[in-house]
Structure 1
C-alpha cells in the first residue's frame, strides 16, 4: 500500500504540494491526474525518495523509500524523463540495476522478453526509438518483480499495440493483488485502465475515489477532470 499523509513541499517561496493526503490500495489501478505543474511529479519524487518533504509523510508499505532494504523488490518505478546512459546497451543497463539490488541475472532476460525487447537487448540505447526506450524503462521497473508499481506516463511514445499491452498488463498486475499508481495525461486511456483516481490541482487533492464516483454526473473522465480542476495549475 502507498500512504501519503499531509504532504507538503516548497521550492523556495513556491508551494508545489500543500497538505496532500491519499492512499493507493492493492488489487487496483489508481490513476493520478492533474494539469501540468499541479504537483504530480513532486509527489512522486518525494514518494520515491528523490526529494525531501517539508511536512507530512509519503510511505511505501509503512516505510520511507530510503528505508527499504531492497527497494526494487518492493516498488518498481518509471518517471517521465528518466533514462539510461545512451551509450550503454539495454542488457547492460538492466544488468547493472539488477546487481545493485541482488536480483538474479536471469530476471534481466525475463523482463526484456516481457516488454518485447529481446531482439534489441544488445543494441545501444541511443539507437532506440521513443517507444523502445519507454519499454526499457518499464522493464527496469519490473526487474524486482515488485508488489508496487509507480509509473509516470508509461505509454508515452508507444504505438497502439504497445499501449494496449501496457493497459492489459497493468490490469492483470493489479488483479494479482499488487498495487499500481499510474500518472498520465491521456484521459481516454486512463478511463480504460484505472479503477480509482486521484485528481490534484494547485498542489491540493480535489478528488479521490473510485473512477465511477469521480465521473458521476459527467459524460466522460475528461469532462470530470476539467470540471474538478477548473483550469488551475500549480507553480
Structure 2
C-alpha cells in the first residue's frame, strides 16, 4: 500500500505540499487530480525518492522508496516520459534498465509486446512520437513486474486507441491486485477507471474518497473538480471557492 501521511514540502516560506495525507490500496486505481501547480508532481517526486519532504512521510509497503534494494521490482514509475537516451534503441534502453535491477533479459521482450512496441524495438528513441515515448515509459515501469505502479499523465500523447488501451491496462493491473496510482488531467478518463480519487488544490487535499463520493451531487467528476478547487473551466480562480469551507480536513 502507498501511505502518504502529513506530508509537507516548503520552498522558503511557501508550502507547495501542505499536510497531505492519503492512501492508495491494492486492487484499486487511485486517481490524483489537481490544477497545475497544485502539488501533485511534488508529492509523487517525494514518494519516489526524487525530492525530500520538509516533514511527514511517504511510504510504499511501509518503507521509503530510497530504502528499496531493487526498486523496480517493487515500484514501476513513470514521471516526465520515458527518461531514456535519444540515441539508444528501445530494446537497448530496456536491457540496460533490466540489468541495473538484476531483472531477467527475457522480460524485455515481454514488456515490448505488452506495450505494443515490439515492432519498434530496434528504432532509436529519438525518432519516437510522443505516444511511443509514453509506451516506452510504461514498458520501463513494467520491467520488474512490480506490485505498485505510479504513473504521471500516462495518456499524454496517446491517440484514442492508445487511451483506450491505457484504460484497460490500468484496470487489468488493479484487478490483478496491484496498487495503481495515476496523476492525470483527463477527468473523464479518471471517472471511468478510478476507484478512488484524491484532489489537491494549492498544496492541500480538498477531496479524498471513492469516485462516487468525490462526485457527490455533481453531474460529473469534472463539475465536482471545478467546484472543489474554486476554478472555472478556463482555469480562472473563482471568488469564494468552496473547497476550504466544505473540506477543511480533506476527507469527503
Sort the TM-score into its range (normalised by shorter chain). Answer: over 0.9
**Is 1:40 the counterpart of 2:48 in the alignment?**
no
TM-score (norm 1): 0.97
Residue 85 of structure 1 is matched in structure 2 by 85
Task: Say which one has the larger Rg.
Answer: 2
> Runs of 5+ in structure 2 lacking a partner?
232-236, 238-252
Flag structure 1 segments of 5+ consecutive residues without an equivalent: none
- Local SS of the residue matching 1:107: helix
Q: Is the 8 A contact 2:75 2:147 kept in 1?
A: yes
Q: Which residue of 2 aligns with 1:66?
A: 66
Mapped to 1, the partners of 2:216 and 2:15 lie a distance apart of: 31
If asked which structure has higher relative contact order (CA below 8 Å, sep 6+), I would say 1
Change (3 A) 1:90 1:109: same
Q: Structure 2: how far apart are the matches of 1:165 and 1:82?
A: 18
Deviates more, 1:10-19 or 1:174-183: 10-19
* 1: CA distance, partners of 2:211 / 2:194: 7
Q: Does 1:128 align with 2:110?
A: no
Structure 1 equivalent of residue 22 of structure 2: 22
Q: 1:3-35 CA distances to partner (integer Å, 9 max, x unpaired)?
A: 000000012332110111111111000000000
RMSD: 0.9
* Structure 1 Cα separation of the partners of residues 9 and 82 of structure 2: 21
In the other structure, the counterpart of 1:177 is 177
Map of 2:234 onto structure 1 = none
| Deviation at residue 160 of structure 1 after TM alignment | 0.8
SS for the counterpart of 2:104 is coil
TM-score normalised by the chain length of structure 2: 0.90
Q: Deviations over 1:90-149 (max 9, x none)?
A: 111111110110000000000001000001001000000111000000000000000000
1:83 deviates by 2.0
CA distance in 2, matches of 1:213, 1:42: 25
What's the counterpart of residue 143 of structure 2?
A: 143
Number of residue equivalences: 232
What is residue 108 of structure 1 aligned with on the other side?
108
Distance 1:50 1:167 in 2: 27
Matched residue, 1:216? 216
Q: 1:82 Cα deviation (Å)?
A: 5.2
Q: Provide the C-alpha distance between the structure 2 equivalents of 1:139 and 1:191, rounded to a whole number of angstroms.
A: 24
For 1:81 and 1:172, locate their aligned partners in 2 and report how far apart those are by CA, in whole Å: 22
